[in-house]
Each structure stands twice: as structure tokens, then as C-alpha cells.
A = this chain, B = another copy of it.
Amino acid sequence: MDRSDNSAHETRILDAAERLFYARGVQAVGMDELRTAAGVSLKRLYQSFPSKEVLVTAYLDRRDERWLSSLRTFVGDGGVLEVFTWLVQWFGSEDFRGCAFLNAFGELGDQVVRPVRRHKDRLRAYLRELAVREGASDPDLRADQLLILVDGATVTAMLGRPNAAGAALRLALPDMRG
């Protein structure tokens, strides 16, 4: 079995891990259930990821990559308005359950602080780019504020408030109409 097959297995494992960990939390999902969902043997699962902790980190890192690049692609040359439009779509998706990174941190604490912080740092860096692009007078403050609005809207939406993204958008762009 060659390298490309191996990474195909890793992909299947990470797909299952993301679906299950995000939907139900890390500790609620056992390695055995994960093996079944991924359709690989326990042996191969442990060959690909030598412990659950390693798998959790890999899950978060890949989610960071994909989540941010989905956002970037959607926003394109746009700005803050497009960010919140993307959030509305995300919040409305069937399996939305808040921020995977905040949830993981609440559950596992220091054990995942590195990938969680990395994700939020990268998100903030992107928001700072947008702040610069829109000509903010203090891009660092603006980035902090946008991060607060994105995370605040996300956790509020998680608990079922329908209009979280809209309310946050009006704080981000107070001069908007509508």
C-alpha cells in the first residue's frame, strides 16, 4: 500500500473525525465509533494517528485551513459585509453547532490551546487585512472589534438567536441601510 492510499485513509479518518467531533464533542466520540464511521481498521487508524490527542489536533488544524479558505474565497475582493453574509449562511447550515475551536477549548482546555489560538490568530490576521483594505484608521483595533463581533455572533447563533449575524453587522457597519 503506497503513500497516496495512505493519505486517502487519512482523509477518510479526518472527514469522520470532523463530522463526529464537531457534532457531538471530542470526548463523546470513541475511537471505535470513529473507526466504524471512517471505514478503516483500528490498526490503520492508529498507524495514521498514533493517539486520539494527535487526531484531535489534526482535525482542528485541517478545519482551520478549510474554514478560513472558505471564508476568504467567499469574500473575495469584498469586505465586512461579505464576511457577515458568509456567517449567515454558515449559521443557517444544517449541522451548525458554533465554533469548533471554542467548543474544543471549553471541553479540553490547555490540551488544545495551541491549535485554537492559532486559528483565532489567523482569523484576526485576515480581519486585519480587511480593515486595512477598507482604510481603517486603527487596523488593530478594528481587527479586534471584528473578531469580537464574529465570535460573539457565532456563540449567540449557536444558542438559537436567529438574527445574530444581522445585529453584529449593524455594529460593524453602523452606517448601513436596512
Contact = CB atoms under 8 A, between A and B. Distances in A.
A70 interface: no
Number of this chain's copies in the assembly equals 2
Interface string A156-168: 1011110110011
A156 B167 contact: no
Nearest to A97: B109
Contacts of A105: 98, 103, 106, 158-159
A66 B105 CA distance: 24
A153 B151 CA distance: 8
Given A116-B159, A159-B116, A163-B144, A106 B109 contact: no
A156 B123 CA distance: 12
A107 interface: yes
Interface residues of A, number: 40
Given A28-B109, A105-B106, A145 B159 contact: no
A148 interface: yes
Interface in A101-142: 102-109, 116-117, 120, 141
B170 A141 contact: yes
A155 to B, nearest CB: 5
Query: Which 9 A/B pairs are nearest by Cβ-Cβ distance?
Result: A152-B152, A103-B106, A106-B106, A148-B152, A107-B107, A144-B167, A151-B152, A145-B167, A151-B155
